[in-house]
Amino acid sequence: MANAQSQPAPQNAAPPEYKRKIKIGIIGQGVRGSWIAQLFLKHGGYEIHALADYFPDVIQKAGETLNVDPSRRFSGLSGYKKLLDSGVEAVVDEAIPYFFPEHARAAVDAGRHVYMAKPIAPDVPGCLAVGAAGKQATEKKLCFLVDYQLPTDPCNIEVKKRIDEGGVGKISRIATFGVCAGHDDPPKTANLESRMQKLIWDNDKALSGGYIMAFDIHALDAAVWVCGQRPLAAMGASWISRPNPSGDAHDGTSLVYEYANGVIHSHFGQALRNSTDGGLRCSVYGPIANALLSYDGKVYVRSGPKHYVGEVVSPYNRGAERNIAEFYRNIVEGRCENATVPRAVDGALTAILGREAAERRTRLTMEDLLKENRKLEVDLTGLKA
């Protein structure tokens, strides 16, 4: 068909009945963790069996809201270990990205399925560790899903399909765009506790990977999805423009990526409260047409033989709902290919390559980045074990 619009799903439809409930434990009950817990409940195929969060007051409040037995509410940095031992079948990791690689290794070692938020890690060693955990999960017949929403949308999938079918001709250029308002960046305190809540950690490169990984990565992931590969090199510049910054994450980035197939990919990212129209977009250009994938709003293949127009609606909620449903199907049907993990690794490495090239204001190759294998260190002194 030449044109299509995605249709809103029924808002008050009763969840289907499931013969089997999967016992899950959720790590992280902050902004996103508390939100996604409700989506797992809404699905109907899960039982929230245990919770973990660094902050005791947060975990107690969440436990009351989600009706989790007090004996299965765990706090402190090591709370996730107790959660893994509490009888859960699967782990939903919504903690701070710095901790994801450690959690992933422990969960797979313990024989638990893993549902992980993005970005999978803030540095190269972390990305490689999560990639290894994904491979190990497949070997152990465990499911491991990384929750990206844009590529689950039916209209984005249709655009990607038409690009693959030659709808724009041979891809010559990609342009991605990631603009948001950022988060509060208050002064640092005696230890890291004040940075570990309310998404403040997005301002700290070692905790989140910086804004290019916390936000822009959705658009960069779309580019990797379209190209089917990660870039060879990147060059650019970045800066810090927010007033009175405490964290070291840059909030403005301009980049050019190079791919082995000759594609040139430009990226602009910004995390400032300057009323600039925000969003996450990936534009694809070829000799006969151009295409747009987006996190929200209109998407298309414009001109050419594969012309198409669609509308992405509520991807944040619906994308997570689709991933939650897919995670359930994968577990009950024993589908352990775990295809989201390698692309999540490639997307995260793409963001790290861009971050490092832009901060250094030089051309940096992926090969050199991987050889450096630099770990970002975090001082955990004074935190509760």
Domains of the chain: which residue ranges? 22-146, 150-372
- 251 burial level (CB within 10 Å; 0-12, 13-18, 19+): buried
Average pLDDT over residues 97-118: 98
The band of 5, judged by pLDDT with boundaries at 50, 70 and 90, is very low
Locus of tokens 């049907």: 333
Q: Do 22-146 and 150-372 agree at the fold level?
A: no
d(CA 192, CA 381): 8
d(CA 217, CA 238): 15
| CATH architecture classification, 150-372 | 2-Layer Sandwich (3.30)
Average pLDDT over residues 251-258: 98
Contacting residues for 224 by C-beta, under 8 A, at least 6 apart: 230, 343, 346, 347, 350
d(CA 308, CA 2): 5
Q: What digits encode the pLDDT tens for the residues 192-207?
A: 999 999 999 999 999 9
CA angle 348, 153, 150 (to 5 degrees): 20
Average pLDDT over residues 140-164: 98
Please provide the average confidence, as pLDDT, over all residues in the chain: 95
Average pLDDT over residues 230-239: 98
Comparing 1-5, 111-115, 132-136, which segment has the lowest mean pLDDT?
Answer: 1-5
Average pLDDT over residues 262-282: 94
Topology of domain 22-146, CATH: Rossmann fold (3.40.50)
Torsions phi, psi of 280, nearest 5?
-135, 115
Q: What is the pLDDT of residue 7?
A: 36
Q: What is the pLDDT of residue 14?
A: 55
The band of 276, judged by pLDDT with boundaries at 50, 70 and 90, is confident
Q: Do 47 and 23 meet the contact criterion of CB atoms below 8 Å apart?
A: yes
d(CA 385, CA 382): 9
Q: What is the pLDDT of residue 9?
A: 42
Average pLDDT over residues 309-318: 95
Average pLDDT over residues 86-115: 98
Reported pTM: 0.94
pLDDT at 340 over 70: yes
Average pLDDT over residues 331-339: 97
Average pLDDT over residues 329-336: 97
pLDDT at 235 over 90: yes
d(CA 174, CA 255): 12
Four-residue CA torsion sign, 221, 104, 126, 51 = positive
Q: What digits encode the pLDDT tens for the residues 29-73?
A: 999 999 999 999 999 999 999 999 999 999 999 999 999 999 999
